[in-house]
Chains A and B, each alone.
Chain A
Amino acid sequence: MKKDMSLNKRRVVLEKFFHGVFLLAALIAVLSVALIIIFIFGKGLAPFFSGNEYGTYSFIDFITGLKWTPQSGEYGVGYMIVNSIFATFGAILVGVPIALFTAVFIAEIAPKWLAGIVRPAIELLAAIPSVLYGVFGFAVITPLVKQFSPYPTGDSLLAVIIVLTIMILPTIVAVVETAIRAVPKSYKEGSLALGASKIQTIFKVTLPAARSGILTGIILGVGRAIGETMAVILVAGNPESGIATTIFSRVRLLTTNIALEQGYAAKLHEQMLFSTAVVLFIFIMIINLVLAQIQKRGGDR
């Protein structure tokens, strides 16, 4: 009897122990985010507060500045923010319809054997390292863009948009396809029974029903596009000032700014690059909050 008790007790302790281990592992994710915020924000926000050892910089000038010239002490990321938004928006504008139709193709239209080819092909697109997209862009896309450009260079917003479009395709296709497949069969059958054609069913019934999935896909695509660095660094042109006025203008983006100069930066310059990362981080936070809202609403339905 006494032995049983102690055995039971040990069991409870063991259960508790493992519960603790699992919880700890899960909390590492939270800890990581906390550490990233502390480190990045700590260094990145320091220049905006008085008492910074390398001198202070006005936050307003930083966020609205249209010039990034470290040698003359000007650190404005305003134009990069706008350019990053332009590039992301452009990639979404071109990429989403293509991705949407491709997902419809795989899930609804294509014969099984063809879907079996297209799907892995698009997955493979996701597996190509971003550096190689950069090299591809550098060697193929910019010369192509140059043919149409009024400027003498192919490095442009358009080149960035094309590269990003290719890169967000697989993300969106995968999410949208899953969403389309999750639409109950009865919806489609109902529509078809009412005399609608297959295409009509897809556009009037299936896609609206998969709306929240599609939105999720788009938001994830936005996240991927805004954070991409190595693929665009070789095709963006990266000037030190200026919002893109045309699609053929050279652009500097938030991410490329960091990757270009971090190797050299010290003191205030380095801190300002971390500030750039803070801006990126805030973008990601906003995107995630929007995503959470969408998923919540999707769940309510």
Chain B
Amino acid sequence: MSRKVKDQLCNMLIWLSAAFSVGILVLVVGFIFSKGWSKISLDFLFNDYESKTQYVTLESDQAYQAPASLSESALFSENLGVALELKEDHYEIVWMDKESPLKEATNNADEKVKISKGDCVQQIKVSGKSLKLDKKTDQEEIVKALNENNTLVMKVMSVGGGIFPMIVSTLLLVLVALLFSAPIGILAAIYLVEYAKPGKLVNVIRFATEILAGIPSVVYGLFGMLMFVNTLNLGMSILAGGLTLTILLLPTMMRTTEEALKVVPMSYREASYGLGANKIQTLSKVVLPSAIPGILVGVILSIGRIIGESAALLFTIGTFAKLPVNPESGNFSLLETGTSLTVRAYIEVKESGNVEMAAAIGIIILIVVFTLNLFSRLIAKKFSKANN
């Protein structure tokens, strides 16, 4: 009797614990989605983070017709073929004619500027006068200003709030970190599994790897700052961040590759040697090909780790959300600063208390990581089937 009760009690505890673990996940993921979901849209993914203001010159040569489906509160300009509407405290472009002069707008440097729906019009300069547009501005005056002259200057702001620059920077970080850590990690694992004989050297290498795996990422951040940012003089840059992550990833990379190599049956190697192949041939033609799926799983999981990392990047890549493009040459450069998704999420919370933005970034990260996990599972499954 008491044994039965005890058993049942233990059983209950076990179920409860499992429920708790899963419950926590539901809670955390639920929280992230409920806070951030309303922000997710294509604009959020592809917009620039900072808003950008431009002064554009417009030249009108014909009159335009208002579309039939225009809301009553919208202001329409026949002169420009554009409709504006007051949203909160700013005027937004809600409709544009296909041939509207706004499509041919040029900025102060005579470069063509792309103006799209959703951009804000902040100011109109026409016939030597200037009119600021906000909720206090008289609407009739706005329409009058828009239609007054064939040439006018408009101050247009494209709204930011997107995470595109961070996505690009994060991808570049993944690229740099994998570019270095994958070859090093794989080659090192090959040494440990295929070449090394048990002894002091192997022990040292293993111990070093264990230590690397245990070092907190904030310490990696300090090290990266000192070594890459200052000593190697890379400055806060994608490259410095990527190299810091390279070291951080090394132990994971080595461990997964080692596991993958160990799973390759000894008989494969023996058969290869039996056919007269040497060690390198055996490695490159027999062992590695059958270990590749396992290695790939390791690489994919590392991508997840890079995307989620923040403490190691805090002091190594910078905080300004911009594409890593050299402003002078216009080329992508790894020596430019940038900021990753997670670092920005932290700064958003810290500087503006913007939990929604952080959660929205979290949703994107979760979706990517979840897909990566699924992907690695698929590969692992195929792999185990192929080996049987």
Which chain A residues have a beta carbon within 8 Å of chain B's beta carbons?
11, 14-15, 18-19, 21-30, 32-33, 35-36, 39-40, 43, 97-102, 104-106, 109-110, 117-118, 120-125, 127-136, 138-140, 166, 169, 173, 197-200, 202-203, 223, 226-230, 234, 255, 258-259, 262-263, 273-274, 277, 280-281, 284-285, 287-288, 291-292
What is the CB-to-nearest-CB distance from B145 to chain A, in angstroms, rounded to a whole number? 45
Q: Give the docked Cα–Cα distance between A134 and B342 (Å).
A: 11
Contact A129 B250 (CB under 8 A): no
Q: Give the docked Cα–Cα distance between A234 and B351 (Å).
A: 12
A98-B217 CB under 8 A given contacts A28-B184, A33-B208, A139-B355: no
Which chain B residues have a beta carbon within 8 Å of chain A's beta carbons?
3, 6-7, 10-11, 13-18, 20-22, 24-25, 27-29, 31-32, 35, 183-188, 190-192, 194-196, 204-205, 207-212, 214-223, 225-227, 231, 247, 250-251, 254, 278-280, 304, 307-311, 314-315, 342, 345-346, 349, 355, 358-359, 362, 365-366, 369-370, 373, 377
Contact B345 A132 (CB under 8 A): yes
> Given known contacts A226-B216, A280-B219, what 15 new A-B pairs fall within 8 Å (CB)?
A25-B186, A29-B188, A30-B208, A36-B223, A43-B226, A102-B17, A118-B22, A120-B377, A124-B370, A131-B358, A138-B355, A199-B7, A229-B311, A230-B311, A280-B216
Please name all residues of chain B whose beta carbon is closer than 8 Å to the beta carbon of A284 when the two chains form the complex. Answer: 211, 214-216
Question: Dominant SS at the B interface?
Answer: helix
Which residue of the partner chain, among B22, B35, B208, contacts A121 with CB atoms under 8 Å?
B22
Q: Which residue of B lies closest to A17 (CB)?
A: B280
Q: Give the docked Cα–Cα distance between A237 and B345 (Å).
A: 20
Contacts A/B (CB < 8 Å), 15 sampled: A19-B195, A25-B187, A26-B205, A32-B212, A33-B208, A40-B226, A102-B14, A102-B20, A132-B358, A135-B349, A166-B24, A169-B21, A199-B10, A227-B217, A284-B215
What is the CB-to-nearest-CB distance from B353 to chain A, in angstroms, rounded to a whole number? 9
Most B Cβ at <10 Å: residue of A15, A36, A139: A36
Please name all residues of chain A whose beta carbon is closer than 8 Å to the beta carbon of B3 when the two chains form the complex. Answer: 197, 200
Please name all residues of chain B whose beta carbon is closer than 8 Å to the beta carbon of A97 when the two chains form the complex. Answer: 17
Most B Cβ at <10 Å: residue of A25, A125, A132: A132
Q: Give the docked Cα–Cα distance between A129 and B207 (Å).
A: 27
Q: Which residue of A lies closest to B278 (CB)?
A: A11
What is the CB-to-nearest-CB distance from B24 to chain A, in angstroms, rounded to a whole number? 5
Please name all residues of chain B whose beta carbon is closer than 8 Å to the beta carbon of A129 when the two chains form the complex. Answer: 307-310, 342, 345, 362, 365
Most B Cβ at <10 Å: residue of A26, A263, A291: A26
Q: Give the docked Cα–Cα distance between A117 and B23 (Å).
A: 12
Contact A32 B370 (CB under 8 A): no
Contact B17 A133 (CB under 8 A): no
Which residue of the partner chain, among A25, A110, A125, A139, contacts B18 with CB atoms under 8 Å?
A110
Contact A228 B251 (CB under 8 A): no
Please name all residues of chain A whose beta carbon is closer than 8 Å to the beta carbon of B216 when the two chains form the complex. Answer: 226-229, 255, 280, 284
Contact B11 A128 (CB under 8 A): no
Which residue of the partner chain, among B29, B196, B251, B278, contacts A15 with CB atoms under 8 Å?
B278
Which residue of the partner chain, among A14, A21, A104, A135, contacts B359 with CB atoms under 8 Å?
A135
Which residue of the partner chain, among A259, A287, A288, contacts B311 with CB atoms under 8 Å?
A259
Contact A230 B310 (CB under 8 A): yes
Contact B365 A288 (CB under 8 A): no
A123-B210 CB under 8 A given contacts A199-B11, A262-B315: no
Contact B14 A104 (CB under 8 A): yes
What is the CB-to-nearest-CB distance from A219 to chain B, in angstroms, rounded to a whole number? 9
What is the CB-to-nearest-CB distance from A278 to chain B, in angstroms, rounded to a whole number? 9
Please name all residues of chain A whose beta carbon is closer than 8 Å to the beta carbon of B184 when the two chains form the complex. Answer: 25, 28
Contact B22 A122 (CB under 8 A): yes
Contact A263 B218 (CB under 8 A): no
Which residue of the partner chain, among B13, B14, B196, B373, contacts A124 with CB atoms under 8 Å?
B373
Contact A255 B218 (CB under 8 A): yes
Please name all residues of chain B whose beta carbon is closer than 8 Å to the beta carbon of A25 when the two chains form the complex. Answer: 183-188, 190-191
Q: Which 4 A-B pairs have the closest CB atoms?
A: A227-B216, A101-B17, A25-B187, A129-B308
Q: Give the docked Cα–Cα distance between A13 and B305 (Å).
A: 39
Contact B218 A259 (CB under 8 A): yes
Which residue of the partner chain, among B18, B183, B309, contacts A105 with CB atoms under 8 Å?
B18
Please name all residues of chain B whose beta carbon is closer than 8 Å to the beta carbon of A258 when the two chains form the complex. Answer: 218-219, 221-222
